[in-house]
Amino acid sequence: MLRIKRVPTIVSNYQKEEAEDGGARHGGGCGRNCLNKCCIPGSKLPLYAFKKVNKVVNGKDVLDCENKEPPVAFLDSLLLGEWEDRMQRGLFRYDVTACETKVIPGEYGFIAQLNEGRHLKKRPTEFRVDRVLQPFDGTKFNFTKVGQEEVLFQFEASEDDEVQFFPNAPIDVENSPSVVAINVSPIEYGHVLLIPRVLECLPQRIDRESFLLALYMAAEAGSPYFRLGYNSLGAFATINHLHFQAYDLAVPFPIEKAATGKTTTLNTGVKISEISKYPVRGLVFEGTGTMEDLADAVSESCICLQNNNIPYNVLISDSGRRIFLLPQCYAEKQALGEVSAELLDTQVNPAVWEISGHMVLKRRKDYEEASDENAWRLLAEVSLSEERFQEVKAIIFEAISCFDENGSTTGSPDKDQDVKPQSLEEIDAHHGMLPGNQECLVLH
Protein backbone atom coordinates (compact mmCIF):
# COMPACT_ATOMS: atom_id res chain seq x y z
CA MET A 1 0.00 0.00 0.00
CA LEU A 2 1.26 3.47 -0.85
CA ARG A 3 2.51 5.66 1.97
CA ILE A 4 3.27 9.36 2.03
CA LYS A 5 5.31 11.51 4.33
CA ARG A 6 3.63 13.05 7.33
CA VAL A 7 2.54 16.64 6.97
CA PRO A 8 1.26 19.11 9.58
CA THR A 9 -2.46 18.50 10.05
CA ILE A 10 -4.83 21.45 10.12
CA VAL A 11 -8.61 21.58 10.00
CA SER A 12 -9.91 22.43 6.55
CA ASN A 13 -11.19 25.98 6.36
CA TYR A 14 -13.62 24.99 3.66
CA GLN A 15 -15.91 22.62 5.57
CA LYS A 16 -16.40 24.88 8.56
CA GLU A 17 -19.82 26.35 9.07
CA GLU A 18 -20.31 29.93 7.96
CA ALA A 19 -20.33 31.16 11.56
CA GLU A 20 -16.81 29.78 12.02
CA ASP A 21 -15.52 31.12 8.75
CA GLY A 22 -12.91 33.55 10.05
CA GLY A 23 -10.13 31.86 8.06
CA ALA A 24 -11.98 31.87 4.74
CA ARG A 25 -10.42 33.53 1.76
CA HIS A 26 -11.72 36.79 0.39
CA GLY A 27 -12.81 37.10 -3.21
CA GLY A 28 -15.89 36.61 -5.36
CA GLY A 29 -19.08 34.98 -4.15
CA CYS A 30 -19.20 34.09 -0.48
CA GLY A 31 -15.40 34.19 -0.22
CA ARG A 32 -15.14 30.47 0.52
CA ASN A 33 -14.61 29.28 -3.08
CA CYS A 34 -17.42 26.76 -2.61
CA LEU A 35 -19.43 24.68 -5.08
CA ASN A 36 -22.57 26.75 -4.64
CA LYS A 37 -24.08 29.19 -7.12
CA CYS A 38 -22.36 32.12 -5.42
CA CYS A 39 -18.87 30.90 -6.39
CA ILE A 40 -19.32 28.41 -9.24
CA PRO A 41 -19.76 30.74 -12.28
CA GLY A 42 -16.54 30.80 -14.28
CA SER A 43 -14.88 28.12 -12.15
CA LYS A 44 -12.82 25.34 -13.68
CA LEU A 45 -11.81 21.89 -12.43
CA PRO A 46 -9.98 18.93 -13.97
CA LEU A 47 -12.29 16.61 -15.94
CA TYR A 48 -11.75 12.88 -16.45
CA ALA A 49 -14.05 11.57 -19.20
CA PHE A 50 -14.30 7.77 -19.06
CA LYS A 51 -15.20 5.41 -21.86
CA LYS A 52 -18.30 3.34 -21.25
CA VAL A 53 -17.41 -0.36 -21.22
CA ASN A 54 -20.57 -2.37 -21.59
CA LYS A 55 -19.91 -6.03 -21.93
CA VAL A 56 -18.68 -8.34 -19.20
CA VAL A 57 -17.66 -11.87 -20.21
CA ASN A 58 -16.44 -14.34 -17.61
CA GLY A 59 -15.84 -11.45 -15.23
CA LYS A 60 -13.67 -9.48 -17.68
CA ASP A 61 -14.55 -6.29 -19.52
CA VAL A 62 -14.54 -6.56 -23.31
CA LEU A 63 -13.83 -3.43 -25.33
CA ASP A 64 -15.42 -2.92 -28.70
CA CYS A 65 -12.12 -1.68 -30.11
CA GLU A 66 -8.42 -2.03 -29.44
CA ASN A 67 -7.27 -0.84 -26.04
CA LYS A 68 -5.44 2.48 -26.00
CA GLU A 69 -3.21 3.92 -23.34
CA PRO A 70 -5.30 6.39 -21.28
CA PRO A 71 -4.08 10.00 -21.19
CA VAL A 72 -3.59 9.74 -17.41
CA ALA A 73 -3.49 6.75 -15.03
CA PHE A 74 -6.84 7.13 -13.28
CA LEU A 75 -6.01 5.59 -9.91
CA ASP A 76 -2.28 6.06 -9.38
CA SER A 77 -1.58 9.39 -11.06
CA LEU A 78 -4.90 11.21 -10.93
CA LEU A 79 -6.89 10.09 -7.90
CA LEU A 80 -4.08 9.19 -5.52
CA GLY A 81 -1.74 11.85 -6.86
CA GLU A 82 -4.32 14.60 -6.34
CA TRP A 83 -5.22 13.14 -2.92
CA GLU A 84 -1.57 13.40 -1.85
CA ASP A 85 -1.51 17.01 -3.06
CA ARG A 86 -4.46 17.83 -0.78
CA MET A 87 -2.70 16.07 2.07
CA GLN A 88 0.35 18.26 1.62
CA ARG A 89 -1.89 21.34 1.56
CA GLY A 90 -3.26 20.39 4.99
CA LEU A 91 -6.89 20.03 3.93
CA PHE A 92 -7.56 16.96 6.12
CA ARG A 93 -8.71 17.00 9.73
CA TYR A 94 -5.90 14.61 10.75
CA ASP A 95 -3.09 12.56 9.22
CA VAL A 96 -4.65 9.16 8.57
CA THR A 97 -1.30 7.73 7.45
CA ALA A 98 -0.16 8.00 11.08
CA CYS A 99 -2.96 5.68 12.27
CA GLU A 100 -1.87 2.20 13.33
CA THR A 101 -3.32 -0.63 11.24
CA LYS A 102 -2.99 -4.40 11.49
CA VAL A 103 -4.51 -7.58 10.14
CA ILE A 104 -5.97 -9.54 13.04
CA PRO A 105 -4.63 -13.10 13.20
CA GLY A 106 -7.34 -15.68 12.67
CA GLU A 107 -9.54 -17.38 10.12
CA TYR A 108 -11.16 -14.25 8.69
CA GLY A 109 -8.32 -11.74 8.65
CA PHE A 110 -10.29 -8.78 9.95
CA ILE A 111 -8.40 -5.49 9.57
CA ALA A 112 -8.16 -3.20 12.61
CA GLN A 113 -7.26 0.48 12.52
CA LEU A 114 -6.74 2.69 15.57
CA ASN A 115 -8.22 6.10 14.77
CA GLU A 116 -8.61 7.84 18.11
CA GLY A 117 -9.47 11.29 16.75
CA ARG A 118 -12.00 10.57 14.01
CA HIS A 119 -15.12 10.50 16.18
CA LEU A 120 -14.08 13.81 17.77
CA LYS A 121 -13.28 15.59 14.49
CA LYS A 122 -15.82 14.00 12.15
CA ARG A 123 -18.89 16.01 11.25
CA PRO A 124 -21.87 14.92 13.42
CA THR A 125 -25.09 13.56 11.93
CA GLU A 126 -27.60 16.37 11.37
CA PHE A 127 -30.80 14.48 10.56
CA ARG A 128 -33.16 11.84 11.92
CA VAL A 129 -31.95 8.27 11.61
CA ASP A 130 -35.33 6.58 11.79
CA ARG A 131 -36.14 7.18 8.11
CA VAL A 132 -34.12 5.88 5.17
CA LEU A 133 -35.69 8.41 2.79
CA GLN A 134 -35.63 12.08 3.77
CA PRO A 135 -35.77 15.22 1.63
CA PHE A 136 -32.62 17.19 0.99
CA ASP A 137 -32.23 20.10 3.42
CA GLY A 138 -30.06 22.89 2.08
CA THR A 139 -29.72 24.44 5.54
CA LYS A 140 -27.75 21.40 6.72
CA PHE A 141 -24.19 20.65 5.70
CA ASN A 142 -24.00 19.37 2.12
CA PHE A 143 -21.32 19.04 -0.54
CA THR A 144 -22.10 22.32 -2.30
CA LYS A 145 -20.54 23.94 0.80
CA VAL A 146 -17.13 22.33 0.33
CA GLY A 147 -14.27 24.35 -1.12
CA GLN A 148 -13.33 23.72 -4.71
CA GLU A 149 -9.84 22.96 -3.37
CA GLU A 150 -11.27 19.72 -1.91
CA VAL A 151 -12.56 18.55 -5.31
CA LEU A 152 -10.03 16.40 -7.18
CA PHE A 153 -11.76 16.26 -10.57
CA GLN A 154 -15.03 15.98 -12.46
CA PHE A 155 -15.97 12.43 -13.51
CA GLU A 156 -18.18 12.10 -16.57
CA ALA A 157 -18.81 9.76 -19.50
CA SER A 158 -16.88 10.62 -22.63
CA GLU A 159 -18.93 12.07 -25.48
CA ASP A 160 -16.82 10.44 -28.21
CA ASP A 161 -16.35 7.04 -26.54
CA GLU A 162 -12.66 7.61 -25.81
CA VAL A 163 -10.98 8.27 -22.47
CA GLN A 164 -10.07 11.94 -22.22
CA PHE A 165 -8.54 14.19 -19.57
CA PHE A 166 -8.87 17.95 -19.39
CA PRO A 167 -6.77 19.54 -16.64
CA ASN A 168 -8.77 22.77 -16.57
CA ALA A 169 -12.36 22.25 -17.72
CA PRO A 170 -15.25 24.67 -17.08
CA ILE A 171 -17.94 23.49 -14.66
CA ASP A 172 -21.16 22.98 -16.63
CA VAL A 173 -23.74 24.34 -14.21
CA GLU A 174 -26.66 23.49 -16.51
CA ASN A 175 -25.63 19.80 -16.65
CA SER A 176 -24.69 19.25 -13.03
CA PRO A 177 -21.29 17.49 -12.96
CA SER A 178 -20.39 14.44 -10.93
CA VAL A 179 -17.24 15.07 -8.91
CA VAL A 180 -14.66 13.20 -6.87
CA ALA A 181 -13.63 15.00 -3.67
CA ILE A 182 -11.50 14.18 -0.65
CA ASN A 183 -13.07 12.89 2.55
CA VAL A 184 -11.64 15.35 5.08
CA SER A 185 -12.16 12.74 7.83
CA PRO A 186 -10.50 9.79 6.07
CA ILE A 187 -10.24 6.25 7.34
CA GLU A 188 -7.59 5.17 4.83
CA TYR A 189 -5.07 6.40 2.29
CA GLY A 190 -6.84 7.77 -0.78
CA HIS A 191 -10.26 8.05 0.91
CA VAL A 192 -12.50 9.99 -1.48
CA LEU A 193 -16.15 10.73 -2.16
CA LEU A 194 -17.97 10.25 -5.47
CA ILE A 195 -20.78 12.82 -5.54
CA PRO A 196 -23.15 12.26 -8.49
CA ARG A 197 -24.61 15.39 -10.09
CA VAL A 198 -23.47 17.46 -7.14
CA LEU A 199 -25.36 20.64 -8.03
CA GLU A 200 -28.72 18.82 -8.17
CA CYS A 201 -28.54 18.37 -4.37
CA LEU A 202 -29.87 14.82 -4.41
CA PRO A 203 -30.67 13.26 -1.02
CA GLN A 204 -28.85 10.11 0.11
CA ARG A 205 -30.82 7.57 -1.90
CA ILE A 206 -29.58 5.29 -4.66
CA ASP A 207 -30.95 5.62 -8.19
CA ARG A 208 -30.06 3.64 -11.32
CA GLU A 209 -27.98 6.36 -13.01
CA SER A 210 -25.89 7.15 -9.94
CA PHE A 211 -25.23 3.52 -9.12
CA LEU A 212 -24.06 2.85 -12.67
CA LEU A 213 -21.68 5.81 -12.33
CA ALA A 214 -20.21 4.20 -9.20
CA LEU A 215 -19.65 0.95 -11.13
CA TYR A 216 -17.85 2.85 -13.87
CA MET A 217 -15.57 4.46 -11.30
CA ALA A 218 -14.71 1.03 -9.87
CA ALA A 219 -14.02 -0.31 -13.37
CA GLU A 220 -11.91 2.73 -14.28
CA ALA A 221 -9.72 2.27 -11.20
CA GLY A 222 -9.08 -1.27 -12.37
CA SER A 223 -7.74 -2.46 -9.01
CA PRO A 224 -9.27 -5.17 -6.79
CA TYR A 225 -8.05 -3.13 -3.80
CA PHE A 226 -10.02 -0.01 -4.70
CA ARG A 227 -13.56 -0.39 -3.40
CA LEU A 228 -16.58 1.87 -3.26
CA GLY A 229 -19.04 1.83 -0.38
CA TYR A 230 -22.48 3.28 0.28
CA ASN A 231 -24.32 3.84 3.56
CA SER A 232 -28.03 4.60 3.60
CA LEU A 233 -29.63 6.87 6.15
CA GLY A 234 -30.28 4.74 9.22
CA ALA A 235 -27.17 2.69 8.38
CA PHE A 236 -24.65 5.31 9.51
CA ALA A 237 -24.60 7.73 6.59
CA THR A 238 -23.82 11.08 8.22
CA ILE A 239 -24.66 13.49 5.37
CA ASN A 240 -27.98 13.54 3.50
CA HIS A 241 -26.48 14.42 0.12
CA LEU A 242 -26.00 11.57 -2.35
CA HIS A 243 -22.46 10.19 -2.22
CA PHE A 244 -20.39 7.03 -2.36
CA GLN A 245 -17.12 6.55 -0.49
CA ALA A 246 -14.01 4.88 -1.87
CA TYR A 247 -10.42 4.13 -0.92
CA ASP A 248 -7.44 1.94 -1.73
CA LEU A 249 -6.43 -0.77 0.77
CA ALA A 250 -4.15 -3.51 -0.54
CA VAL A 251 -5.50 -6.45 1.48
CA PRO A 252 -8.56 -8.65 0.89
CA PHE A 253 -11.64 -7.74 2.91
CA PRO A 254 -13.01 -10.62 5.00
CA ILE A 255 -16.43 -10.33 3.37
CA GLU A 256 -14.82 -10.80 -0.05
CA LYS A 257 -13.50 -14.17 1.12
CA ALA A 258 -16.82 -15.33 2.62
CA ALA A 259 -18.51 -18.39 1.15
CA THR A 260 -21.77 -18.01 -0.75
CA GLY A 261 -24.73 -20.27 -1.42
CA LYS A 262 -28.35 -20.41 -2.63
CA THR A 263 -27.64 -18.95 -6.04
CA THR A 264 -30.27 -17.31 -8.23
CA THR A 265 -29.66 -16.21 -11.82
CA LEU A 266 -31.79 -13.58 -13.53
CA ASN A 267 -32.59 -13.75 -17.23
CA THR A 268 -30.12 -10.89 -17.75
CA GLY A 269 -27.28 -13.09 -16.50
CA VAL A 270 -26.96 -11.40 -13.13
CA LYS A 271 -26.18 -14.00 -10.47
CA ILE A 272 -27.39 -13.41 -6.91
CA SER A 273 -26.03 -15.45 -4.00
CA GLU A 274 -26.47 -15.43 -0.24
CA ILE A 275 -23.44 -14.76 1.92
CA SER A 276 -22.74 -17.66 4.25
CA LYS A 277 -20.29 -18.29 7.09
CA TYR A 278 -20.08 -14.56 7.80
CA PRO A 279 -21.53 -12.61 10.74
CA VAL A 280 -23.68 -10.30 8.57
CA ARG A 281 -26.32 -11.78 6.27
CA GLY A 282 -26.49 -10.28 2.82
CA LEU A 283 -26.62 -10.81 -0.94
CA VAL A 284 -23.85 -10.84 -3.54
CA PHE A 285 -24.57 -9.71 -7.11
CA GLU A 286 -22.27 -10.72 -9.98
CA GLY A 287 -22.72 -9.89 -13.65
CA THR A 288 -21.92 -11.82 -16.83
CA GLY A 289 -23.83 -9.51 -19.18
CA THR A 290 -23.60 -5.73 -19.27
CA MET A 291 -22.70 -3.27 -16.53
CA GLU A 292 -26.14 -1.76 -17.04
CA ASP A 293 -27.78 -5.10 -16.25
CA LEU A 294 -25.77 -5.44 -13.05
CA ALA A 295 -26.45 -1.84 -12.04
CA ASP A 296 -30.16 -2.25 -12.72
CA ALA A 297 -30.47 -5.37 -10.54
CA VAL A 298 -28.60 -3.87 -7.60
CA SER A 299 -30.10 -0.40 -7.79
CA GLU A 300 -33.64 -1.77 -8.04
CA SER A 301 -32.94 -3.89 -4.95
CA CYS A 302 -31.69 -0.79 -3.12
CA ILE A 303 -34.74 1.20 -4.21
CA CYS A 304 -36.91 -1.60 -2.83
CA LEU A 305 -35.14 -1.40 0.55
CA GLN A 306 -35.39 2.40 0.56
CA ASN A 307 -39.10 2.34 -0.17
CA ASN A 308 -39.64 -0.14 2.66
CA ASN A 309 -37.57 1.89 5.13
CA ILE A 310 -34.93 -0.83 5.55
CA PRO A 311 -31.42 0.57 6.25
CA TYR A 312 -28.63 -1.00 4.21
CA ASN A 313 -24.99 -0.79 3.14
CA VAL A 314 -23.40 -1.60 -0.22
CA LEU A 315 -19.83 -2.64 -1.07
CA ILE A 316 -18.69 -2.46 -4.71
CA SER A 317 -15.81 -4.89 -5.10
CA ASP A 318 -13.63 -6.54 -7.75
CA SER A 319 -13.50 -3.50 -10.05
CA GLY A 320 -17.28 -3.28 -10.12
CA ARG A 321 -17.91 -6.92 -10.99
CA ARG A 322 -19.14 -7.99 -7.54
CA ILE A 323 -21.52 -6.06 -5.27
CA PHE A 324 -22.50 -6.87 -1.69
CA LEU A 325 -25.94 -5.68 -0.49
CA LEU A 326 -26.24 -5.73 3.29
CA PRO A 327 -29.48 -4.78 5.07
CA GLN A 328 -28.75 -4.04 8.73
CA CYS A 329 -30.47 -3.38 12.05
CA TYR A 330 -27.83 -2.15 14.51
CA ALA A 331 -29.70 1.11 15.14
CA GLU A 332 -32.89 -0.85 15.75
CA LYS A 333 -31.18 -2.93 18.39
CA GLN A 334 -29.68 0.17 19.99
CA ALA A 335 -33.14 1.69 20.34
CA LEU A 336 -34.52 -1.51 21.85
CA GLY A 337 -31.67 -1.70 24.35
CA GLU A 338 -30.52 -5.01 22.87
CA VAL A 339 -26.87 -4.03 22.31
CA SER A 340 -24.59 -4.71 25.26
CA ALA A 341 -22.98 -1.81 27.10
CA GLU A 342 -19.60 -3.33 26.27
CA LEU A 343 -20.23 -2.94 22.52
CA LEU A 344 -21.79 0.49 22.89
CA ASP A 345 -18.74 1.67 24.83
CA THR A 346 -16.54 1.02 21.78
CA GLN A 347 -18.43 3.85 19.98
CA VAL A 348 -18.01 1.92 16.74
CA ASN A 349 -20.78 2.64 14.24
CA PRO A 350 -20.78 -0.41 11.95
CA ALA A 351 -21.17 1.04 8.47
CA VAL A 352 -20.06 -0.44 5.14
CA TRP A 353 -16.32 -0.58 5.89
CA GLU A 354 -16.74 -2.19 9.32
CA ILE A 355 -19.26 -4.68 7.94
CA SER A 356 -16.79 -5.56 5.16
CA GLY A 357 -14.16 -6.33 7.80
CA HIS A 358 -12.17 -3.08 8.09
CA MET A 359 -12.75 -2.22 11.75
CA VAL A 360 -12.12 1.44 12.56
CA LEU A 361 -11.56 1.47 16.33
CA LYS A 362 -11.58 4.57 18.51
CA ARG A 363 -9.96 3.27 21.71
CA ARG A 364 -6.48 1.80 22.09
CA LYS A 365 -7.89 -0.83 24.42
CA ASP A 366 -10.14 -2.16 21.65
CA TYR A 367 -7.29 -2.07 19.16
CA GLU A 368 -4.93 -3.99 21.40
CA GLU A 369 -7.62 -6.55 22.23
CA ALA A 370 -8.84 -6.87 18.64
CA SER A 371 -9.61 -10.47 17.66
CA ASP A 372 -11.70 -12.45 15.21
CA GLU A 373 -14.07 -13.22 18.07
CA ASN A 374 -14.55 -9.57 19.05
CA ALA A 375 -15.07 -8.45 15.46
CA TRP A 376 -17.57 -11.27 14.87
CA ARG A 377 -19.46 -10.39 18.05
CA LEU A 378 -19.91 -6.77 16.97
CA LEU A 379 -20.92 -7.58 13.41
CA ALA A 380 -23.38 -10.26 14.50
CA GLU A 381 -25.36 -7.47 16.18
CA VAL A 382 -25.57 -5.69 12.81
CA SER A 383 -27.13 -8.59 10.95
CA LEU A 384 -30.82 -9.23 10.46
CA SER A 385 -32.07 -12.46 11.99
CA GLU A 386 -32.39 -15.39 9.59
CA GLU A 387 -36.19 -15.08 9.61
CA ARG A 388 -36.16 -11.33 8.97
CA PHE A 389 -33.44 -11.65 6.31
CA GLN A 390 -35.55 -14.17 4.39
CA GLU A 391 -38.52 -11.82 4.56
CA VAL A 392 -36.42 -8.91 3.26
CA LYS A 393 -34.89 -11.09 0.56
CA ALA A 394 -38.37 -12.10 -0.53
CA ILE A 395 -39.52 -8.52 -1.10
CA ILE A 396 -36.27 -7.78 -2.98
CA PHE A 397 -36.85 -10.73 -5.31
CA GLU A 398 -40.45 -9.69 -5.71
CA ALA A 399 -39.25 -6.27 -6.86
CA ILE A 400 -36.50 -7.39 -9.25
CA SER A 401 -38.31 -10.42 -10.68
CA CYS A 402 -40.76 -8.12 -12.46
CA PHE A 403 -38.32 -5.41 -13.42
CA ASP A 404 -36.41 -4.32 -16.44
CA GLU A 405 -36.30 -1.02 -18.26
CA ASN A 406 -39.33 -2.09 -20.34
CA GLY A 407 -41.24 -3.24 -17.28
CA SER A 408 -41.19 -6.93 -18.27
CA THR A 409 -40.02 -9.94 -16.29
CA THR A 410 -36.26 -10.39 -16.09
CA GLY A 411 -35.88 -13.29 -13.70
CA SER A 412 -37.17 -15.16 -10.71
CA PRO A 413 -35.78 -17.11 -7.77
CA ASP A 414 -34.61 -20.64 -8.52
CA LYS A 415 -36.85 -23.40 -7.29
CA ASP A 416 -34.22 -24.79 -4.92
CA GLN A 417 -34.24 -21.57 -2.88
CA ASP A 418 -37.64 -22.28 -1.33
CA VAL A 419 -38.36 -18.56 -1.20
CA LYS A 420 -41.97 -17.61 -0.62
CA PRO A 421 -42.44 -13.92 -1.44
CA GLN A 422 -44.76 -12.01 0.84
CA SER A 423 -46.73 -8.94 -0.05
CA LEU A 424 -45.64 -5.66 1.45
CA GLU A 425 -48.88 -5.63 3.40
CA GLU A 426 -47.97 -8.96 5.01
CA ILE A 427 -44.52 -7.70 5.89
CA ASP A 428 -45.84 -4.43 7.32
CA ALA A 429 -48.47 -6.23 9.37
CA HIS A 430 -45.89 -7.25 11.95
CA HIS A 431 -42.94 -4.94 11.24
CA GLY A 432 -43.68 -1.33 12.11
CA MET A 433 -41.73 1.78 12.89
CA LEU A 434 -41.62 3.51 16.26
CA PRO A 435 -39.43 6.40 17.40
CA GLY A 436 -36.90 5.07 19.89
CA ASN A 437 -34.89 6.88 22.53
CA GLN A 438 -32.14 7.54 19.98
CA GLU A 439 -34.48 8.17 17.04
CA CYS A 440 -33.62 4.77 15.61
CA LEU A 441 -35.58 2.13 13.76
CA VAL A 442 -37.64 -0.13 15.99
CA LEU A 443 -39.30 -3.44 15.26
CA HIS A 444 -42.30 -4.52 17.30
pTM for this entry: 0.84
CA distances (Å), origin 318, targets 9, 111, 223, 244, 263: 33, 18, 7, 16, 19
Q: Has residue 10 got a pLDDT over 70?
A: no
CA distances (Å), origin 420, targets 288, 392, 417: 26, 11, 9
Whether 279 is in a domain gets the answer: yes
Highest mean pLDDT among 51-65, 73-87, 423-437: 73-87
Helical ranges in 308-400 per DSSP H:
330-336, 341-345, 352-356, 364-368, 372-380, 386-400
Which three-class secondary structure state does DSSP give residue 61?
A: strand
Q: Which CATH number is 418's domain given?
A: 3.30.428.70
The confidence score (pLDDT) of residue 431 equals 35
Show which residues are catalytic: 243
Higher confidence at residue 114 or residue 444? 114
CA distances (Å), origin 83, targets 12, 78, 87, 153, 155: 14, 8, 6, 11, 15
Q: What percent of the chain has pLDDT over 90?
A: 68
Q: Count of domains in the chain? A: 1
Whether 436 is in a domain gets the answer: no
Whether 22 is in a domain gets the answer: no
Res. 401 pLDDT band, cuts 50 70 90: confident
Whether 121 is in a domain gets the answer: yes
Q: Has residue 171 got a pLDDT over 60?
A: yes
Whether 388 is in a domain gets the answer: yes
The confidence score (pLDDT) of residue 1 equals 36
Query: Other CB atoms closer than 10 Å to residue 120's CB: what's the count?
Result: 9
Whether 421 is in a domain gets the answer: yes
Mean pLDDT of 397-419: 52
Whether 56 is in a domain gets the answer: yes
The confidence score (pLDDT) of residue 419 equals 35
Mean pLDDT of 393-405: 80
Higher confidence at residue 119 or residue 163? 163
Whether 20 is in a domain gets the answer: no
Residue 213: domain span = 46-430
The confidence score (pLDDT) of residue 8 equals 36
